[in-house]
Amino acid sequence: MRDSILEIRSLFAGYGSEPVLKDFSLSLDRGTRVIVCGPNGSGKTTLLKCILGIIKPLSGTIKLLDGCSIAYCKQDFPKQNFPITAREVVEMGLSGRNHDAVQSAMSKTGTLELSERLFWSLSGGERQRVSLARCYCQNADLLLLDEPSSFLDTQSRDDFISMMKNMADPKLSVIAVTHDDQIVSSLGWNVVQLSKGRM
């Protein structure tokens, strides 16, 4: 697999027997950052769920580099008012308690001042930044971002774009799926375009 961290070949995936993602292929090298964009229903989230093993492909192959760890930042947040703080959400990314890792991740995402706030009380942009801090704590090889600008106002979207541009780890591979043209144009990452009924 060369220096590839992920190889997808001729992937067909969907729900039941009907594919929404059709004949999709992708080779992702370590440290590469890719945006998969397309309208609703084109299979963007389905792709991420296949990579995570949540959905079994109808056909095709997905090969991850041995030992590859994945962090996943999904587009929606729990609607229940769980009594959990922002810091506790970030700590979920750790296999054990590591104060320095939590501090570093929250510093990178500008969320230190939110540490003791209840997660459900945060704005959409604040929740997104806390969720990214949790992902950073995992020290993963591959970061999956599902519609990262959903529920964000203009300032929060700009903050997210700035964080993505300033990611320091050159070995971290990223796949972001979105239909947000501003994210696509501002980040300048490699782009894979999906459309409904893609063959």
Per-residue pLDDT at 80: 62
* pTM for this prediction: 0.90
Higher pLDDT, 74 or 37: 37
Question: Confidence band (pLDDT; 50, 70, 90) for 26?
Answer: very high
The CA-atom distances, in angstroms, between 9 and each of 14, 51, 58, 143, 150 are 16, 12, 12, 20, 29
* Average pLDDT, rounded, for the chain: 88
Question: Confidence band (pLDDT; 50, 70, 90) for 16?
Answer: confident
Higher pLDDT, 52 or 98: 52
Which three-class secondary structure state does DSSP give residue 4? strand
Pairing of strands 142-146, 190-193: unpaired
Q: Nearest CA to 40 among 144, 147, 125?
A: 147
Fold adopted by 1-67+175-199: Rossmann fold (3.40.50)
Residue 33 pLDDT exceeds 90? yes
Question: Confidence band (pLDDT; 50, 70, 90) for 93?
Answer: confident
Could you state, in order of their start, the residue ranges of all structural domains in the chain? Answer: 1-67+175-199
Per-residue pLDDT at 199: 42
Q: Quick one: the chain helix, strand, coil %, rounded to 5?
A: 30, 30, 40
Residue 198 pLDDT exceeds 50? no
Per-residue pLDDT at 15: 86
